[in-house]
Amino acid sequence: MKEIPAHIRIIGVVAILLLWACGPAGPGLLQASTSGDGRLMLLEDGNYFPALMRAVDGAKSEIVMSFFLFKTNGYRTSYTDRLLAGLVRAAKRGVRVRIILERGDDTKGSLVDTSNRETAARLRQEGIDVAFDSPRVTTHTKVAVIDERYILLGSHNLTNSALKYNHELSVFIDSPSLAGETLRYIKSLHK
């Protein structure tokens, strides 16, 4: 039997989790539950940002992120700039921070490409390692892996709208084994 690729397994796990969360337990499920080697928590709408910030602020060794869109604006109070500041604090306390962002066709003046390049410049100015994917393939991921254990994965882009206003749905997963598979997939995006 042929082994299922890691990224397909991850998508499958997330799909099962989302179907389960919207089933008889109802869409308001926010408490943690156990599965395999870890715990899961559904992050609806604005619950994602505080969970992400707790994970970033608590990181001890490594933060690896891959996002389609990370749009900062230079305002200290915006959610995305608060996240950027949290990533900088983590790096300054010795946490390795690596971020992979979508790179579109910059000849077309894409808003995604422009926003990601501006944020990358801000991050690099603070010593954060930022890379871009190939412009030939769209990387539509929205995932963060913290300390090779915690995964935040779902629909949230790193924009103020997504973090503060939109209806978005993501999951927090505490699973070293799934984190390892996720990291292998993220690393495959930038070779």
Tell me: the pLDDT tens digits for 11-23? 555 555 444 444 4
Which pair of structure tokens corresponds to residue 130?
A: 């930022």
Q: For 29-83, how does the pLDDT look when each residue is reduced to its tens digit (9 = 90+)?
A: 334 444 455 688 999 998 999 999 999 999 999 999 999 889 998 888 899 999 9
Q: How confident is the model at residue 105 (pLDDT cuts 50, 70, 90)?
A: low
Fold of 6-188: Endonuclease; Chain A (3.30.870)
Tell me the mean pLDDT in the region 119-145.
Answer: 89
Read off φ and ψ for residue 31, nearest 5 degrees.
-80, 160
Q: What is the pTM of this model?
A: 0.78
Distance from C-alpha of 188 to C-alpha of 183, rounded to nearest angstrom: 9
DSSP 70: B
The pLDDT of residue 38: 63
Residue pair 38/128 in contact (Cβ under 8 Å)? The answer is no
Distance of CA 130 to the CA centre of its chain: 14
Contact call for residues 43 and 170 (beta carbons, < 8 A): yes
